[in-house]
Structure 1
Amino acid sequence: MKNISLLLLRISLGWLLVIWGADKVFNVEHGLAVANKFYFGFLAAESALQVAGVLQMLVGLAVVVGFARRWVYPAQLLLNGASLFAVFKSVLDPWGWVFTGTNALFYPSLIIFAASLLLIALREEDTWTLDKP
Protein backbone atom coordinates (compact mmCIF):
# COMPACT_ATOMS: atom_id res chain seq x y z
CA MET A 1 0.00 0.00 0.00
CA LYS A 2 2.89 2.40 0.77
CA ASN A 3 4.43 1.95 -2.70
CA ILE A 4 1.11 2.55 -4.43
CA SER A 5 0.43 5.62 -2.31
CA LEU A 6 3.83 7.15 -3.02
CA LEU A 7 3.51 6.33 -6.71
CA LEU A 8 0.10 8.01 -6.93
CA LEU A 9 1.38 11.01 -4.99
CA ARG A 10 4.40 11.30 -7.26
CA ILE A 11 2.33 10.97 -10.44
CA SER A 12 -0.30 13.50 -9.33
CA LEU A 13 2.21 16.11 -8.14
CA GLY A 14 4.46 15.68 -11.14
CA TRP A 15 1.61 15.80 -13.61
CA LEU A 16 0.37 19.02 -12.01
CA LEU A 17 3.71 20.60 -12.91
CA VAL A 18 3.40 19.24 -16.44
CA ILE A 19 -0.08 20.78 -16.76
CA TRP A 20 1.07 24.15 -15.38
CA GLY A 21 4.14 24.09 -17.62
CA ALA A 22 2.10 23.19 -20.70
CA ASP A 23 -0.23 26.10 -19.95
CA LYS A 24 2.75 28.45 -20.11
CA VAL A 25 3.91 26.95 -23.41
CA PHE A 26 0.62 26.48 -25.26
CA ASN A 27 -1.66 29.10 -23.68
CA VAL A 28 0.77 31.98 -23.44
CA GLU A 29 -1.91 34.64 -22.92
CA HIS A 30 -3.19 32.84 -19.83
CA GLY A 31 0.34 32.31 -18.55
CA LEU A 32 1.10 36.01 -18.96
CA ALA A 33 -2.10 36.95 -17.13
CA VAL A 34 -1.20 34.61 -14.24
CA ALA A 35 2.37 35.94 -14.11
CA ASN A 36 1.13 39.51 -13.96
CA LYS A 37 -1.64 38.90 -11.43
CA PHE A 38 0.05 36.51 -8.98
CA TYR A 39 3.82 36.70 -9.57
CA PHE A 40 4.42 40.47 -9.85
CA GLY A 41 5.10 40.18 -13.58
CA PHE A 42 7.93 37.66 -13.10
CA LEU A 43 8.53 35.90 -16.44
CA ALA A 44 5.87 38.08 -18.06
CA ALA A 45 7.62 37.90 -21.41
CA GLU A 46 6.41 35.36 -23.94
CA SER A 47 9.76 33.66 -24.62
CA ALA A 48 10.82 33.57 -20.94
CA LEU A 49 7.45 32.17 -19.96
CA GLN A 50 7.64 29.43 -22.58
CA VAL A 51 11.18 28.43 -21.56
CA ALA A 52 10.04 28.30 -17.94
CA GLY A 53 7.07 26.20 -19.02
CA VAL A 54 9.29 23.67 -20.78
CA LEU A 55 11.56 23.45 -17.73
CA GLN A 56 8.55 23.03 -15.47
CA MET A 57 7.25 20.23 -17.69
CA LEU A 58 10.63 18.48 -17.55
CA VAL A 59 10.72 18.70 -13.76
CA GLY A 60 7.17 17.38 -13.64
CA LEU A 61 7.97 14.42 -15.88
CA ALA A 62 11.05 13.60 -13.80
CA VAL A 63 8.88 13.64 -10.67
CA VAL A 64 6.29 11.36 -12.31
CA VAL A 65 8.83 8.67 -13.19
CA GLY A 66 11.04 9.17 -10.14
CA PHE A 67 14.17 10.30 -11.95
CA ALA A 68 16.89 12.41 -10.26
CA ARG A 69 14.67 12.83 -7.21
CA ARG A 70 17.49 14.34 -5.15
CA TRP A 71 17.37 17.35 -7.51
CA VAL A 72 13.82 17.48 -8.87
CA TYR A 73 12.02 17.15 -5.54
CA PRO A 74 13.58 20.36 -4.19
CA ALA A 75 12.82 22.05 -7.54
CA GLN A 76 9.22 20.89 -7.23
CA LEU A 77 9.09 22.19 -3.66
CA LEU A 78 10.40 25.57 -4.84
CA LEU A 79 7.82 25.80 -7.64
CA ASN A 80 4.96 24.75 -5.38
CA GLY A 81 6.23 27.04 -2.63
CA ALA A 82 6.15 29.97 -5.06
CA SER A 83 2.56 29.11 -5.91
CA LEU A 84 1.67 28.89 -2.23
CA PHE A 85 3.29 32.25 -1.57
CA ALA A 86 1.44 33.82 -4.51
CA VAL A 87 -1.95 32.84 -3.07
CA PHE A 88 -1.16 32.87 0.66
CA LYS A 89 -4.00 35.29 1.40
CA SER A 90 -6.46 32.76 0.01
CA VAL A 91 -4.93 30.06 2.22
CA LEU A 92 -5.15 32.22 5.34
CA ASP A 93 -8.58 33.64 4.52
CA PRO A 94 -10.31 31.45 1.90
CA TRP A 95 -13.70 33.18 2.29
CA GLY A 96 -12.44 36.75 2.11
CA TRP A 97 -13.43 37.77 5.63
CA VAL A 98 -10.19 39.74 6.12
CA PHE A 99 -8.50 39.99 2.72
CA THR A 100 -10.26 41.09 -0.44
CA GLY A 101 -9.94 39.10 -3.64
CA THR A 102 -9.28 35.72 -1.98
CA ASN A 103 -10.57 32.45 -3.37
CA ALA A 104 -11.20 29.19 -1.50
CA LEU A 105 -10.16 27.27 -4.62
CA PHE A 106 -6.54 28.26 -3.92
CA TYR A 107 -6.49 26.59 -0.49
CA PRO A 108 -5.17 23.29 -1.98
CA SER A 109 -1.88 25.09 -2.63
CA LEU A 110 -1.07 24.36 1.01
CA ILE A 111 -1.90 20.68 0.53
CA ILE A 112 0.24 20.51 -2.60
CA PHE A 113 3.15 22.09 -0.73
CA ALA A 114 2.75 19.65 2.18
CA ALA A 115 2.63 16.72 -0.25
CA SER A 116 5.84 17.97 -1.88
CA LEU A 117 7.51 17.96 1.53
CA LEU A 118 6.20 14.45 2.13
CA LEU A 119 7.80 13.18 -1.08
CA ILE A 120 11.14 14.53 0.10
CA ALA A 121 10.71 13.07 3.59
CA LEU A 122 9.80 9.62 2.22
CA ARG A 123 12.18 9.59 -0.75
CA GLU A 124 14.06 6.55 0.54
CA GLU A 125 10.80 4.67 1.12
CA ASP A 126 9.67 5.13 -2.48
CA THR A 127 11.14 2.19 -4.39
CA TRP A 128 9.09 2.21 -7.61
CA THR A 129 11.27 4.83 -9.31
CA LEU A 130 13.70 5.05 -12.19
CA ASP A 131 16.59 6.19 -10.02
CA LYS A 132 16.32 3.40 -7.43
CA PRO A 133 18.99 0.72 -7.93
Structure 2
Amino acid sequence: MKCWTLLLLRVSLGWLLVIWGADKVFNVEHSVAVANKYYLGLGTESILQLGGVVQILVGLLIVVGFARRWVYPIQVLFNGASLLAVMKSVIDPWGWIFEGSNALFYPSLIIFAGSLLLVAFRDEDYLSLDKKENLDNIL
Protein backbone atom coordinates (compact mmCIF):
# COMPACT_ATOMS: atom_id res chain seq x y z
CA MET A 1 0.00 0.00 0.00
CA LYS A 2 2.86 2.42 0.79
CA CYS A 3 4.31 2.18 -2.72
CA TRP A 4 0.94 3.00 -4.31
CA THR A 5 0.42 5.92 -1.93
CA LEU A 6 3.86 7.30 -2.76
CA LEU A 7 3.11 6.86 -6.45
CA LEU A 8 -0.13 8.83 -6.12
CA LEU A 9 1.61 11.58 -4.15
CA ARG A 10 4.51 11.73 -6.62
CA VAL A 11 2.25 11.87 -9.68
CA SER A 12 -0.08 14.49 -8.19
CA LEU A 13 2.74 16.76 -6.98
CA GLY A 14 4.70 16.35 -10.20
CA TRP A 15 1.63 17.12 -12.29
CA LEU A 16 1.01 20.24 -10.20
CA LEU A 17 4.42 21.53 -11.31
CA VAL A 18 3.51 20.72 -14.92
CA ILE A 19 0.28 22.73 -14.56
CA TRP A 20 2.05 25.67 -12.90
CA GLY A 21 4.80 25.57 -15.52
CA ALA A 22 2.33 25.44 -18.41
CA ASP A 23 0.56 28.46 -16.96
CA LYS A 24 3.85 30.38 -17.07
CA VAL A 25 4.56 29.32 -20.65
CA PHE A 26 1.09 29.77 -22.15
CA ASN A 27 -0.53 32.40 -19.93
CA VAL A 28 2.30 34.88 -19.52
CA GLU A 29 0.06 37.78 -18.50
CA HIS A 30 -1.25 35.75 -15.57
CA SER A 31 2.29 34.76 -14.60
CA VAL A 32 3.41 38.38 -14.58
CA ALA A 33 0.39 39.35 -12.45
CA VAL A 34 1.17 36.55 -9.97
CA ALA A 35 4.86 37.53 -9.88
CA ASN A 36 3.93 41.15 -9.24
CA LYS A 37 1.49 40.29 -6.44
CA TYR A 38 3.28 37.45 -4.64
CA TYR A 39 6.93 37.41 -5.72
CA LEU A 40 7.91 41.08 -5.44
CA GLY A 41 7.59 41.55 -9.19
CA LEU A 42 10.59 39.34 -9.87
CA GLY A 43 10.85 38.02 -13.39
CA THR A 44 10.32 39.30 -16.86
CA GLU A 45 8.03 37.54 -19.32
CA SER A 46 10.91 35.61 -20.88
CA ILE A 47 12.35 34.58 -17.50
CA LEU A 48 8.92 33.44 -16.32
CA GLN A 49 8.44 31.43 -19.51
CA LEU A 50 11.86 29.83 -19.12
CA GLY A 51 11.02 29.05 -15.50
CA GLY A 52 7.78 27.49 -16.71
CA VAL A 53 9.66 25.21 -19.08
CA VAL A 54 11.93 24.15 -16.21
CA GLN A 55 8.90 23.51 -14.00
CA ILE A 56 7.28 21.39 -16.71
CA LEU A 57 10.43 19.30 -17.17
CA VAL A 58 10.95 18.85 -13.42
CA GLY A 59 7.28 17.96 -13.00
CA LEU A 60 7.40 15.34 -15.74
CA LEU A 61 10.54 13.79 -14.25
CA ILE A 62 8.78 13.61 -10.90
CA VAL A 63 5.66 12.05 -12.43
CA VAL A 64 7.63 9.18 -13.97
CA GLY A 65 10.03 8.95 -11.05
CA PHE A 66 13.31 9.63 -12.81
CA ALA A 67 16.33 11.45 -11.35
CA ARG A 68 14.43 11.88 -8.10
CA ARG A 69 17.61 12.57 -6.17
CA TRP A 70 17.99 15.78 -8.19
CA VAL A 71 14.42 16.83 -8.98
CA TYR A 72 12.91 16.35 -5.52
CA PRO A 73 15.07 19.10 -3.98
CA ILE A 74 14.12 21.38 -6.89
CA GLN A 75 10.47 20.59 -6.21
CA VAL A 76 10.96 21.46 -2.54
CA LEU A 77 12.46 24.81 -3.58
CA PHE A 78 9.57 25.58 -5.97
CA ASN A 79 6.94 24.62 -3.43
CA GLY A 80 8.82 26.30 -0.59
CA ALA A 81 8.91 29.56 -2.54
CA SER A 82 5.18 29.30 -3.16
CA LEU A 83 4.58 28.63 0.53
CA LEU A 84 6.63 31.65 1.55
CA ALA A 85 4.80 33.83 -0.97
CA VAL A 86 1.42 33.04 0.58
CA MET A 87 2.54 32.49 4.18
CA LYS A 88 0.18 35.12 5.59
CA SER A 89 -2.71 33.07 4.20
CA VAL A 90 -1.33 29.96 5.90
CA ILE A 91 -0.92 31.73 9.23
CA ASP A 92 -4.22 33.63 8.99
CA PRO A 93 -6.44 31.94 6.37
CA TRP A 94 -9.55 33.99 7.26
CA GLY A 95 -7.87 37.39 7.19
CA TRP A 96 -8.44 38.19 10.85
CA ILE A 97 -4.91 39.62 11.15
CA PHE A 98 -3.55 40.04 7.62
CA GLU A 99 -5.50 41.91 4.99
CA GLY A 100 -5.69 40.02 1.72
CA SER A 101 -5.34 36.55 3.23
CA ASN A 102 -7.09 33.75 1.39
CA ALA A 103 -8.04 30.37 2.86
CA LEU A 104 -7.62 28.81 -0.60
CA PHE A 105 -3.84 29.23 -0.23
CA TYR A 106 -3.64 27.14 2.94
CA PRO A 107 -2.98 23.93 0.90
CA SER A 108 0.42 25.40 0.02
CA LEU A 109 1.55 24.08 3.40
CA ILE A 110 0.19 20.63 2.58
CA ILE A 111 1.90 20.67 -0.83
CA PHE A 112 5.20 21.61 0.81
CA ALA A 113 4.79 18.86 3.42
CA GLY A 114 4.06 16.34 0.67
CA SER A 115 7.20 17.42 -1.17
CA LEU A 116 9.25 16.83 1.96
CA LEU A 117 7.57 13.46 2.44
CA LEU A 118 8.65 12.38 -1.05
CA VAL A 119 12.23 13.26 -0.17
CA ALA A 120 12.03 11.39 3.14
CA PHE A 121 10.56 8.23 1.60
CA ARG A 122 12.40 8.32 -1.73
CA ASP A 123 14.04 4.94 -1.11
CA GLU A 124 10.67 3.32 -0.46
CA ASP A 125 9.07 4.51 -3.70
CA TYR A 126 9.56 1.35 -5.74
CA LEU A 127 7.20 2.31 -8.57
CA SER A 128 9.57 4.78 -10.19
CA LEU A 129 11.75 4.59 -13.28
CA ASP A 130 14.98 5.15 -11.40
CA LYS A 131 14.20 2.28 -8.99
CA LYS A 132 13.62 -0.31 -11.70
CA GLU A 133 15.58 -3.04 -9.91
CA ASN A 134 12.98 -3.01 -7.13
CA LEU A 135 9.96 -3.26 -9.45
CA ASP A 136 10.54 -7.02 -9.55
CA ASN A 137 9.83 -7.17 -5.80
CA ILE A 138 6.43 -5.54 -6.31
CA LEU A 139 5.34 -7.44 -9.40
Give the alignment's TM-score, normalised by structure 1. 0.98
Which deviations, in whole Å up to 9, do the C-alpha atoms of 1:69-98 show, x marking residues without a partner?
000000000000000000000000000000
Q: Using the alignment, how far apart are the partners of 2:73 and 2:42 within structure 1?
A: 20
2-structure distance, mates of 1:120, 1:38: 26
Shift of 1:108: 0.1
Q: Which amino acid aligns with 1:108?
A: P
| Other-structure match for 1:31 | 31
**Count of aligned positions:** 132
Counterpart of 1:74, as a letter, is P
Say yes or no: does 1:70 pair with 2:86.
no
- Other-structure match for 1:57: 56
Question: Unaligned 5+ residue runs, structure 2?
Answer: 134-139
Whether 1:127 and 2:126 are equivalent positions in the alignment is yes
* Structure 1 residues not aligned, in runs of 5+: none
The aligned counterpart of 1:110 is 109
Deviations 1:40-76 (CA, angstroms, capped at 9, x unpaired): 0111x11111100000000000110101000000000
Structure 1: distance between partners of 2:46 and 2:97: 37
Q: Report the structure number with the largest CA radius of gyration.
A: 2
Q: Distance in 2 between matches of 1:108 and 1:54?
A: 24
Aligned Cα root-mean-square deviation (Å)? 0.5
| Alignment partner, residue 85 of structure 1 | 84
Query: Percent identity of the aligned residues?
Result: 73
Whole-angstrom distance in 1 between the partners of 2:3 and 2:120: 14
- Secondary structure of 2:40 counterpart: coil
State the distance in 1 between where 2:53 and 2:119 align.
Answer: 23
The alignment partner of 1:131 has SS state of: helix
Equivalent position amino acid for 1:101 in 2: G
- What is the rounded CA distance, in whole Å, between the counterparts of 1:100 and 1:47 in structure 2? 31
